[in-house]
Amino acid sequence: MTPYFPAKITRVLPNSAARRCGLRSGDSLLALNDTPLRDVIDVQFYGGDHELTMLYQRGDHRRRCKVRRRYGEPLGLDFADDLFSGKPRVCRNNCDFCFVTQMAPGMRGALYIKDDDYRLSFLHGNYITLTNLDASDWERIEAQYLSPLYVSVHATEPEVRVDLMRNPQAGEILTQLRRLAEMGIEIHTQAVLVPGRNDGPHLDRTIEDLGALYPAVRSLSVVPVGLTRWCNPKLRSYTDAEASAIVDQVAGWHTQYRSALGVGFVYPSDEWYLRAGVSVPDIGDYDNLLPAMIENGVGMVRRFLNGREILTVALAQAGDSQIWVTGTLFAPVLQTYAEAYAEATGRRVTVVPAVNHFFGDDVTVAGLLTVQDVLRALQGHDLGSGIVLPKAMFRGPEGQSLDGRTREYVETAVGVPVYLADETGRSGEVVVWSVTP
């Protein structure tokens, strides 16, 4: 019997092939043109045909319909999950710096899943290690042209990468990247640096090896290790002086590649600049690659600075006396903007840096703040007409924070309106911001 992974449909778009075929929300799509579907990628790949036969299930009954797609007509289906089996491919490595293994006990189950799934890399930009691919995975990547992919390299020297990832298969990374390059796959890479393990001359080697694979390897983001209070006690964070040295080291390569390739190729995350006390680069230094690197914390400050005029307009609804809450790392940048905003608008603004007691004060970014730490930071402040929080705090299911709270919970707790600031897109090189309840 053919194995099917029922793909639960959550929405059928109007003026689509699926709507004309009679599919409804709540149905489960099983196959397209007699091909069972494993995930959304299969739907995109096999659903591109002009003539389609859809096998779907409604209640206890399977049904089949045929439809001829009109020119430019979408298939028109949204699904409850991208992976129809519901199970992502998990990581086979044992990195002692893995952030997932540093999670606090008792949090929601999804936060403990160490996904390492090439399908999620293609669909959402998740970083993968390439250490768990079998022959059929490689065949599928090539056949369905799953490009771009996002790869955690960390180090290209085999013995260094094996030591970092505690996996004897990890040393094959350059061979694997060359194989992807031969397929025509574009690759964005990252190196998470651990003091004394893969920095210094090891970082030079990684940058040089990956640069030799340009343009297939399109970018390299350099990121400092993130450590919570549940980390391996043998690990430590970078000092400000070490951060300054990393900025200088990467800047040398960036300049060299810009001269040789016309692009900078290697890009430090913002944390290095903020810790070193130096200005972030201009927008042009990121070579139009920020959408591919933003989840690594690369260019977020520059995008914020370039979008300030739009954000000023969006913030007006928060009233005449506002409190802005952020992480300790970004607070000085936000304070400078707050002073200019207050002078331009006449509104009173207080920037409140929230120390991350939940994960530990080494975790300084706004997106990893919990509601309990925000409420602690607000104690003793005049809350004014409204509080503005980063929307990145509430990325969990149904808008939950990492400690399972919502914006509405905060609003009830503080007794004043709470707004969420969100970067929603780009207009040219200008970030589009919204501030919404």
Question: 141 and 71 in contact (C-beta within 8 Å)?
Answer: no
Other C-beta atoms closer than 10 Å to the C-beta of 313 total 11
User: Vertex 15, ends 14 and 21: CA angle to 5°?
Assistant: 90
Which amino acid type is present at position 110?
A
> Where exactly does CATH 2.30.42.10 map onto the chain?
7-79
Model pTM greater than 0.85?
Answer: yes
- Per-residue tokens: 77: 């289906």
Half-sphere exposure of residue 373: CA atoms within 13 angstroms, side-chain side: 27
CATH architecture of 7-79: Roll (2.30)
Question: 180 and 141 in contact (C-beta within 8 Å)?
Answer: yes
Which amino acid type is present at position 86?
G
Q: Each residue's pLDDT tens digit in the chain (437 positions)?
A: 568 999 999 999 999 999 999 999 999 999 999 999 999 999 999 998 999 999 999 999 999 999 999 988 999 999 999 999 888 999 999 999 999 999 998 888 888 989 999 999 999 999 999 999 999 999 999 999 999 999 999 999 999 999 999 999 999 999 999 999 999 999 999 999 999 999 999 999 999 999 999 999 999 999 999 999 999 999 999 999 999 999 999 999 999 999 999 999 999 999 999 999 999 999 999 999 998 998 899 999 999 998 888 899 999 999 999 999 999 999 999 999 999 999 999 999 999 999 999 999 999 999 999 999 999 999 999 999 999 999 999 999 999 999 999 999 999 999 999 999 998 776 656 778 889 88
**Cβ partners under 8 Å of residue 345, min gap 6:** 312, 316
Q: Which CATH number fits domain 100-298: 3.20.20.220, 2.160.20.10, 3.80.30.10, 2.60.40.3880?
A: 3.80.30.10
Helix (H, G, I), strand (E, B) or coil at 319: coil
Q: How far apart are CA 91 and CA 73, in angstroms?
A: 38
> Where exactly does CATH 3.40.50 map onto the chain?
307-436
- Per-residue tokens: 83: 């992976």
Question: 63 and 160 in contact (C-beta within 8 Å)?
Answer: no
pLDDT at 331: 96
pLDDT at 146: 98
> Where exactly does CATH 3.80.30.10 map onto the chain?
100-298
Domain 307-436 grouped into CATH 3.40.50: yes
For the sheet with 418-427, list strands across it: 348-354, 321-327, 386-390, 418-427, 430-436
pLDDT in tens, 350-408: 999 999 999 999 999 999 999 999 999 999 999 999 999 999 999 999 999 999 999 99
* Residue whose C-alpha is closest to residue 45's, from 141, 188, 181, 182: 141
Residue located via tokens 């200008």: 430
